[in-house]
């Protein structure tokens, strides 16, 4: 109760005072120090300082955050929150309030912001498709229904996943039900130009874009393998990679879908979660051929590289969701196993990677871990934390 009261009082300080420090003894902070943690059970966003490792405020009224994600404006001052209930909220991190909010769909699982920061796009399950908004006002600019026709069936809408930003006011996304990848050019936001790649593989379920913006890679739930698109081609097309990586082995039940936006590209290699398997795949990004596998404690969910690419951190689905393992990228061996708390849902590295923040939903805490000594630097009491997002994402493609 004391913590809640203190946060409520802090949240009441005017934004101008926060910027100049004239109404409080607290030192002003630049947006590069800020981040947010999703409190999924309460529809609340916890505002944190990544340098002081402290909880600054809580922002309420964000709806269903059971599968929420966040992107940031180019200046890091605004967070765009995509809620499972279809709500899209623009949160002012300096004033610590919601500046705008729209209910744009019935079921939404994430979004992206254009590289120039002017467009915010939401990917939707229901109705299936993508909606694009003005990042300043959240005014709707474009509606892209994910309509497709299957043989012998009436036209219908597909669930959309794997939405990422691309250079040049473009977005790429996958159609789970249509086995397709679409690329939307919004040079004129009111007249999107859509390139449709059909038959990319069965049920693409999530995707990433490589840090240089060249490759879009979608995981395939309906088959062993992935779909890769070279976006630098004059006429982009999808091809399969890692086909049959589980061939000849008994398929395992999938307890939680891997989240591929956290896939790790470390130097020349990508470290990818093997769906339904207790393995991390190592892939050469020059040839896109598998060059190794690393046995891990359970089914990987997030596989994330530190900013310096020296280590890769992995968390897991049930029943191993209380553990995190660290892979050394030189030896490709597990060098540390941590137990930060039950139901580890997300990890986020500080901008230069000296620490990682790990959310443990069922322990109601976020742990801050030193990435060299693996010591716990801080623990923050946060209700049912899930996603952790830092404003340093504003400068990264595909985040």
Q: What is the pLDDT of residues 266-286, one digit of tens each?
A: 888 999 998 888 999 999 999
Question: Which one, of 313, 318, 331, 300, lies nearest residue 388 by Cα?
Answer: 313
Task: Report residue 374 as tokens.
Answer: 């693996």
Is it the case that residue 79 has pLDDT exceeding 50? yes
C-alpha to C-alpha distance for 246 and 80, rounded to whole angstroms:
38
CA 392 from chain centre, in angstroms, equals: 13
CB 273 within 8 A of CB 256: no
The CATH number of domain 256-339 is 2.40.10.480: yes
Query: Are 157 and 146 in contact, with CB atoms under 8 Å apart?
Result: yes
Numbered ranges of CATH 2.40.10.480 in the chain:
256-339
Range list for CATH 2.130.10.10 in the chain:
104-244
| Whole-number Å distance between alpha carbons of 134 and 148 | 27
Taking only the tens place, the pLDDT of each residue in 1-49 is 445 444 444 443 343 333 333 333 345 567 999 999 999 999 999 999 9
Closest to 358 measured CA to CA, from 298, 394, 316, 297: 316
Alpha-helical (H) ranges within the chain are: 2-11, 15-20
Average pLDDT over residues 156-172: 96
At residue 10, the pLDDT reads 43
What is the torsional sign of CA 170, 73, 159, 204? positive
pLDDT tens readout for residues 192-246: 999 999 999 999 999 999 989 999 999 998 888 899 999 999 999 999 998 877 6
**Mean pLDDT of the 176-203 span:** 97
- Helix (H) / strand (E) element for 162: namely strand 160-166
> How many Å is the maximal CA-CA distance in the chain?
68
More confident residue, 359 or 67: 359
At residue 263, the pLDDT reads 76
Contact 218, 206 (CB under 8 A): yes
Superfamily designation of domain 104-244: YVTN repeat-like/Quinoprotein amine dehydrogenase (2.130.10.10)
């Amino acid at each position: 109760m004391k913590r809640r009261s203190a946060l409520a009082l802090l949240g009441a300080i005017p934004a101008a005072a926060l910027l100049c420090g004239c109404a409080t003894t607290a030192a002003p902070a630049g947006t590069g120090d800020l981040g947010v943690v999703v409190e999924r059970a309460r529809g609340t966003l916890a505002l944190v300082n990544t340098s002081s490792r402290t909880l600054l405020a809580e922002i309420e009224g964000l709806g269903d955050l059971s599968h929420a994600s966040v992107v940031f404006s180019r200046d890091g001052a605004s967070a765009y929150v995509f809620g499972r209930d279809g709500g899209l909220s623009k949160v002012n991190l300096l004033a610590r309030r919601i500046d705008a909010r729209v209910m744009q769909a019935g079921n939404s699982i994430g979004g992206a912001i254009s590289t120039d920061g002017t467009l915010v796009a939401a990917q939707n399950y229901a109705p299936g498709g993508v909606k694009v908004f003005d990042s300043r006002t959240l005014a709707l600019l474009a509606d892209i229904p994910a309509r497709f026709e299957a043989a012998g069936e009436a036209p219908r809408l597909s669930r959309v996943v794997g939405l990422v930003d691309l250079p040049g006011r473009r977005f790429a996304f996958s159609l789970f039900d249509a086995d397709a990848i679409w690329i939307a050019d919004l040079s004129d936001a009111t007249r999107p130009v859509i390139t449709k790649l059909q038959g990319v593989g069965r049920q693409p379920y999530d995707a990433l874009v490589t840090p240089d913006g060249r490759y879009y890679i979608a995981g395939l739930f309906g088959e062993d393998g992935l779909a890769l698109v070279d976006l630098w081609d004059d006429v982009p097309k999808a091809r399969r990679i890692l086909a049959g990586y589980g061939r000849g082995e008994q398929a395992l039940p999938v307890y939680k879908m891997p989240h591929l936006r956290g896939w790790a590209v470390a130097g020349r290699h990508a470290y990818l979660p093997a769906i339904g398997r207790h393995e991390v795949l190592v892939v050469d990004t020059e040839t896109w051929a598998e060059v190794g596998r690393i046995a891990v404690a359970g089914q990987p969910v997030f596989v994330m590289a530190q900013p310096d690419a020296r280590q890769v951190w992995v968390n897991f689905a049930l029943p191993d969701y209380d553990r995190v393992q660290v892979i050394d990228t030189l030896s490709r061996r597990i060098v540390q196993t941590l137990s930060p708390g039950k139901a580890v849902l997300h990890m986020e590295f500080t901008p230069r990677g000296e620490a990682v923040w790990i959310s443990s939903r069922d322990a109601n805490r976020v742990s801050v871990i030193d990435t060299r000594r693996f010591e716990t630097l801080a623990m923050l009491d946060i209700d049912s934390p899930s996603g952790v997002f830092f404003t340093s994402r504003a400068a990264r493609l595909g985040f």
